Structure 1
Amino acid sequence: MPHHGSHRPGAGVQGDPVFPRATSRVVPDPSRFFAPGLLAAPLPTNAFFQNFVLKDGDMPEYIHPYSIRSPGGGALDVCYPSRSHSPSSVTQTFVADLTVSDAAAAAGTGSAQRHVVSAFDDLSVTLDVSQSLRAHLVRGCPYVTVTVTANATGPIDISFASVHAFVELSSCQCHHGSSGTKWRLRMDSGQTFLLYASAPIRLAQATPTQLSAPAFAGAIRVAYLPDASMEPVLDRYSRCFPTAGHATMNPNDRPFCVDYAWHKEGHGELLMLAHPLHLRLLALAAAADENRAVRVLDGFRYRSIDGDMVGVVGCSWALRADPVPPTWHSTRGVRADGVAEVVAALRADVGALAPAAVTTTSSYFYGKAVARAARLAVIAEEVGCADVVPAVREFLAATVTPWLDGSFQGNGFLYDATWGGLVTMQGLTDSGADFGFGIYNDHHYHLGYFLYAIAVLARLDPSWGRQYAPQAYAMVADFMTVSCDKSGGSFFTRLRMFDLWTLHSWAGGLAAIPDGRNQESTSEAVNAYYSAALVGLTYGDARLASLGATLAALEMLAAQTWWHVRDGEGMYEEDFSGSNRVVGVLWANKRDSALWFAPAEWKECRLGIQLLPLLPISEALFPDVAFVRDLVEWTLPALARDGVGEWWKGFVYALQGLYDTEAALAKIRALTAHDNGNSLTNLLWWLHSWARGSVVGDGDGFGFAASCCWYRH
């Protein structure tokens, strides 16, 4: 089903955003911190450096392996964060271990100013801390690099300070540098930083906590020294520094792959750091005969909240994930002796559909309601109950269309040109409405549910699909645009929610929070990219289908790496990993057992929010049955608590069904209520498709299995 190319995300310059334009009263002014040349194109609303451009811009951000803060006055704070941990959380603590300053700006005698973001990309951000001091903050770089530019009168004075006292200040001979280009800074905290300069720099101790460096111009690099054995490695690679980095996806030619490339200056090879998921994907690419120019330095390690980071030498990396093709139906098919039970529930659930019964105006809960109904049509196809499909189609047409044509009463989608994205009518004046959708929270969650319903309805009713393709593609583009025209031709920012360095999404939007970005529900993020892939399949858009499948696969790997907690694995400290089987909210600087909406002891909510909505792709999200059993057994005692919602129990039993189907079936049959995005039909479909025995409905239907090589075309 072809569409005009301007509505295709990732196809280059975006077409009209389709939804009516509106002026938000709650979003901040981006011109306070972004350089004027960056304001023409839509700006990120969920970037790893977001704290630098919100409120006063002085909250730290974790740019692995350092926390960085720009407090103003021409200064940049560098912290190698310590960790505190307990059974309920793991937290990184910021202190200003080392501060680099433009001395004149810091003293108030120069051109002191608020910092400005002068450039950014997937892997880096460039901060102009003063007119003479520029910080190249590149993710995964073991050094923090600043360049110092002479002013009209010549080189400028630099100062270095710390909250700790300097107990050793020594000039060292670096094997490839001249005298005065390497210094060792040891503090009374026991920490040692190494300082490298592109030209001789004269350091003198002005006070126990402050050093002066007069008349310098050039590049300065500082690196924390975790272990003395790592110093020769830091020496060797100190002269080559990255200034920018870009992540590339080519879903047509290289599905399930991401490629990194850094721009660098100086001499020699580039040394970077890889987190545990990077290492896994680097190894898969190496097995495919990629990464031949990359060397992993296993003994060179920095601590991080995301696990040990390991040195990698090479200015470009190839990352490859195992393919996870999206399917409309269960991969196993529904067991023949379970079909009757699924059909009975299906007829009852379809019979209860009524547009008037959807009374919410919340974009999130409304999206869940229409996606729930769309699941009924897909299940009906799988179990051969086609006679109920017209009723579902009519329900979807009546409920989804008003959100696309603007006739829905009480809410709707609008376009905000300030930051370049969709907002809701309620979110124009209330930053808390629709869970903060108006300040760019949770866009993939809300829109993912709508896109699932749109994909199903467009498949059932091609003429409807053709009519509302522009709106469908605008919703996809809001959070899945890949190519952006920096000259101002794009309407949506690049991959609003998905972080191409951490390889998962962040859900928090334009909110400055000391702990940085956060995400609670990985499974709803998976749903967003899976649903976008289904939109691609429905419309015959192989590129979109491949892009959605790739992002879903990466999101699932990240969930398994950081949200799913395995005791003894070593990712987190023993008190936390021994007490938890799933993270509640994952922050850039924190792992929390609590949820936004529930305390830590409500374990059924923690499990459920990492599983819902229940879909065919959920099989790939939880592939380790041994872990699933551990997770369920950790959760089950919480169900004895007074007041546990029946709807949350359903998700616990759904996972229990992966290893004990009959027990789970008995419990699900006894439930009296279900999550508003779930149904008895969906739960029975799930359990009967996992049960062993002869199956029906394992063909393609209007699905995918018959063309599993679509991403090659």
Structure 2
Amino acid sequence: MWSVVLTLTLLLERFASALPVSTAVDLFQEIATTAPDHRFPIIVDHPLQPLGMSKSVISTSTIPTNNFYTNLFLGSRQQPAYLYPYSVWWSQGTNSDYGLAISHTTASQRVFGPNPSANPVEYYYNPVGICSVSFSAAEFDAGMTMSLGSPTAFAVNVTMAPSTSKYGHGRSLYIPLVQGTGFITGIYFNLRPRFNSLVGFQSLTEKTSPRNGIKKYVAKLYDGTSWAIYANVPNGQTFSLSRQSSSSIIASKDVYNVIVQIAKIVDGSESAYDAHAGKYAYHARVYGSAVGSVGTATINYWTLQANNAGNLLLWLLPHHVASMKKGALGFSIDSLSRGKMYAFSTNQIVLQEELPTGIQFEPWTSIPGQKATYTSNALKLITSAAASEIAEDFNAQTNLNSMYYAGKALDKFAMICYVAHSILKNAVMTANCLNKLKQSFALFANNKEIYPLYYDKTYKGIVSSAGILTGSSMADFGATYYNDHHFHYGYHIHTAAVIGYIDTALGGTWVKENKEYVNTLIRDVANPSDADPYFPFSRSFSWFHGHSMAKGLFESADGKDEESSSEDYHHAYAVKLWGQVSGDQSMEARGAMMLAVMRRAMNAYMLMNNTNTIQPQNFIGNKVSGILFENKADHTTYFGTDIQYIQGVHMLPITPASSYIRSPTFVGEEWNSLLSGVAPTLTDGWKGILYANLALYNPKSSYAFFSSSKFSRNYLDPGASLTWYLAYAAGVGGATS
């Protein structure tokens, strides 16, 4: 039933979106709807199959791999889905509770450590497993099942059913999990509703009905919190709840098609809950357009039933609120790791941003008054560096057993080629560099690298074969299991954009010849349309959270995470540039819109200046979040705890997009408080990264470092070149002589 509703609505909206809409550019125009070509061998069954999904669901769906509910089909299936501001999980018998457990924790419950008195603290997290209320049924026991259907970017349908051997077929609890909705909704079919609590029910009180056909109860828990329970009861049925024990509330009898909605009561919320009870969301989809330099993306929630308010009650994150013109209800609730969420009466979340249309290939800075200073001495130094680096063996540095490291190296040489062409304007040097780079890139475009890419028919994506051929799920940073795809492919896409930019300027046809390959990588990480049946919509970037999630098919108690904001926005920047050189206006505008949304979200949650009021005040001194999980923020990395690693992984690579995201104020605070005493002591590639980042705040000091006669190439990591660092620092005002 619900899949039919979803399918029909999709068809109607696709038709509507095809109608002419003035001269606006559609941000979400599909790239292609054809299968990836024969260069990608097919994996029929991924080594890790999604649990709880039927063969029909798997074959007909494009299953998201990097979003909020993947814990529900991985491993034990008991880890939380982070349905902001709540967390929910399949309770399989904890304290005799069977069903979908619901938890909400407040800022006062956060755990700070390892020294909670430190400022800044290293990490904070929210306790997990505190079941305040669960959706259950008298028929649920150890034989119950949980299946998943209609998996999309914003929602998944959960169906819980009792043992068929004991109760037969036709009994189920349907729960649409939709990100950001004010109520968690469950619909009972031929079951006797039960609601359990690990915290314990102190009392249950029936309240005045807010609407004909809706019954209202308030359960007060022993921790002092109260939860509203609304039941939308069809005509001809009766429904009542009673407190069976301190851990259980139960309905008087079996019911059919009774819609129950649960929400935690916070200050000022109860009357708004009354007004919004009855209507629920079962799906959401994002639409958008760009008109000139203004982009608008709207997350549209699809609803069923009715309420007094006429809209849904939605919880919005801080970066959403700036674009919302109306609907604020005046109260908030704590989120898990992204500050407070604010209640709105609306069926849409509107994101409107000024697009960074001026940020293209050339060095760019947000420092007021700065401009390129390519003095004769600067050009001499850049030419010398470029001549030396173009002479290097490109293939030896790029033909690697890692898409990530290969991409970094390819991108390094791409920026050297760009400098030779656009800044030095040296035709001989450009031709030499470009020919070598094309040859190295062709190995990947022909899928002849050490670990070729495969097309996976289970999750519908382009994956590294490294995990299959080595038998390790963490080979190439877990790429076979969808970890970090936007980081990896972002470097390759940006390389292609630079090659295409230069080649087109020289009259070549390289873009046309390589378009399908590059577009396929983009379809994997940033597919803009659910009309494409071969890839999920926006695998990496979350249009709800405003940034990407790097973790793929790995069970995690703290949910999805990301540790490199910079490689995230680098992939969006790459999409924007490839759209530009390939003539895809929708892609170019979409990449720009992603950057604009990231700028707002990342500076709220990941990059914390001294005036940040969203993250805890005893955490913002870290300046970067480190690894930002859905349930935790940890000022560390997966590869080490040195300060240059933690800060630097949020810097690399330095490109024209860096200064757009990382403001001079932020970079200055970070440098002066954490890095100015560390950077001079370093002797490896992290030193170059820190000083290149310094150009976003103090380009003259950055340029002085890279132009010094004492500079050592040991200060360059494998993805960096002296050519680009000199050209960038000078290009944003760093050269004075």
Same-fold status (TM-score > 0.5): yes
Cα 1:637–1:80 shift into 2, 3 Å: same
Partner of 1:400: 441
1:19 and 1:471 in contact (8 A); partners too:
no
Q: Secondary structure at the match of 2:204?
A: strand
Residue number among 487, 495, 499 corresponding to 1:445 in the alignment: 487
Q: CA deviation at 1:693?
A: 8.2
Tell me the alpha carbon deviations over residues 573-599 of structure 1, each in whole angstroms, 9 at most, x when there is no partner: 222223x11111111111110101111
2:154 and 2:179 in contact (8 A); partners too:
yes
| 1:174 equivalenced with 2:222 (yes/no) | no
Q: Secondary structure at the match of 2:614?
A: coil
Cα 1:451–1:565 shift into 2, 3 Å: same
Partner of 1:319: 351
2:275 and 2:307 in contact (8 A); partners too:
no
Cα 1:303–1:423 shift into 2, 3 Å: closer
Distance 2:62 2:290 in 1: 23
Tell me the alpha carbon deviations over residues 32-63 of structure 1, each in whole angstroms, 9 at most, x when there is no partner: 33572453233211121111111232211111
Query: What TM-score do you get using the length of structure 1 for normalisation?
Result: 0.87
| 1:433 equivalenced with 2:472 (yes/no) | no
Tell me the alpha carbon deviations over residues 65-95 of structure 1, each in whole angstroms, 9 at most, x when there is no partner: 1100123475110001242224011212221
Q: CA deviation at 1:517?
A: 0.7
Partner of 1:41: 61
Distance 1:517 1:344 in 2: 45
| 1:678 equivalenced with 2:713 (yes/no) | no
Tell me the alpha carbon deviations over residues 241-299 of structure 1, each in whole angstroms, 9 at most, x when there is no partner: 222221123458996321121122222322111110001232xxx4xxxxxxx411233
| 1:583 equivalenced with 2:625 (yes/no) | yes
Counting only pairs closer than 5 Å after superposition, residues 308-347 of structure 1 correspond to structure 2 as 308-325=340-357, 326-331=359-364, 334-337=372-375, 338-347=378-387
Counting only pairs closer than 5 Å after superposition, residues 239-254 of structure 1 correspond to structure 2 as 239-250=278-289
Residue number among 77, 82, 86 corresponding to 1:66 in the alignment: 86
Cα 1:495–1:243 shift into 2, 3 Å: same
Distance 1:175 1:452 in 2: 55
Residue number among 182, 185, 208 corresponding to 2:246 in the alignment: 208
Partner of 1:75: 99
Distance 1:93 1:85 in 2: 11
2:85 and 2:333 in contact (8 A); partners too:
no
Equivalent residue letter for 1:456: V
Partner of 2:231: 197
Unaligned stretches of 5+ in structure 1? 1-7, 151-155, 287-293, 696-713
Residue number among 384, 389, 393 corresponding to 1:349 in the alignment: 389
Partner of 2:24: none
Equivalent residue letter for 1:395: K
Tell me the alpha carbon deviations over residues 294-329 of structure 1, each in whole angstroms, 9 at most, x when there is no partner: 411233444442111111112123211121124011
Partner of 2:430: 389
Distance 1:404 1:645 in 2: 35
Superposition RMSD in Å: 2.5
Cα 1:165–1:42 shift into 2, 3 Å: closer
Residue number among 490, 496, 515 corresponding to 1:469 in the alignment: 515
Distance 2:250 2:484 in 1: 46
Cα 1:582–1:262 shift into 2, 3 Å: same
Distance 2:399 2:516 in 1: 26
Distance 2:68 2:435 in 1: 42
The worse-fitting range, judged by mean Cα deviation, of 436-445 and 378-387 is 378-387
| 1:115 equivalenced with 2:156 (yes/no) | no
The worse-fitting range, judged by mean Cα deviation, of 253-262 and 606-615 is 253-262
Q: CA deviation at 1:339?
A: 2.9
The worse-fitting range, judged by mean Cα deviation, of 243-252 and 29-38 is 29-38
Counting only pairs closer than 5 Å after superposition, residues 238-637 of structure 1 correspond to structure 2 as 238-250=277-289, 256-264=295-303, 265-268=305-308, 269=310, 270-282=312-324, 286=325, 294-325=326-357, 326-331=359-364, 334-337=372-375, 338-358=378-398, 360-386=400-426, 387-408=428-449, 410-428=450-468, 429-461=471-503, 462-485=508-531, 490-567=533-610, 569-578=612-621, 580-599=622-641, 602-623=642-663, 625-636=664-675
Distance 2:546 2:611 in 1: 24
Query: What TM-score do you get using the length of structure 2 for normalisation?
Result: 0.84
Distance 2:200 2:284 in 1: 35
Distance 2:346 2:44 in 1: 44
Identity value in percent: 21
Distance 2:676 2:735 in 1: 31
Cα 1:590–1:645 shift into 2, 3 Å: farther
Q: CA deviation at 1:381?
A: 2.8
2:203 and 2:243 in contact (8 A); partners too:
no
Equivalent residue letter for 2:543: L
Distance 2:433 2:355 in 1: 32
1:533 and 1:548 in contact (8 A); partners too:
yes
Tell me the alpha carbon deviations over residues 448-499 of structure 1, each in whole angstroms, 9 at most, x when there is no partner: 11112222223334333332222122111111212234xxx72222111111
2:416 and 2:723 in contact (8 A); partners too:
yes
2:287 and 2:299 in contact (8 A); partners too:
yes
Q: Secondary structure at the match of 2:77?
A: coil
Counting only pairs closer than 5 Å after superposition, residues 79-228 of structure 1 correspond to structure 2 as 79-81=103-105, 82-86=109-113, 87-94=121-128, 95-106=130-141, 112-130=143-161, 131-150=171-190, 156-177=191-212, 181-199=215-233, 201-215=239-253, 216-217=255-256, 218-227=258-267
Greater RCO between the two (CA within 8 Å, min separation 6)?
Answer: 1
1:226 and 1:302 in contact (8 A); partners too:
no
Tell me the alpha carbon deviations over residues 647-670 of structure 1, each in whole angstroms, 9 at most, x when there is no partner: 112222223333433333333334
Cα 1:32–1:212 shift into 2, 3 Å: closer
Partner of 1:711: none
Distance 2:295 2:607 in 1: 22
2:605 and 2:615 in contact (8 A); partners too:
no
Distance 1:255 1:11 in 2: 22
1:259 and 1:319 in contact (8 A); partners too:
yes
2:454 and 2:464 in contact (8 A); partners too:
yes
Cα 1:256–1:424 shift into 2, 3 Å: same
Distance 1:368 1:192 in 2: 52
Equivalent residue letter for 2:691: Y
Unaligned stretches of 5+ in structure 2? 1-27, 114-120, 162-170, 365-369
Equivalent residue letter for 1:234: Y
Q: CA deviation at 1:371?
A: 0.6
Equivalent residue letter for 1:552: L
Paired residues in the alignment total: 658
1:567 and 1:574 in contact (8 A); partners too:
no
Distance 1:226 1:376 in 2: 56
2:52 and 2:148 in contact (8 A); partners too:
no
Q: Secondary structure at the match of 2:322?
A: helix
Tell me the alpha carbon deviations over residues 418-450 of structure 1, each in whole angstroms, 9 at most, x when there is no partner: 211111232223311111111111111111111
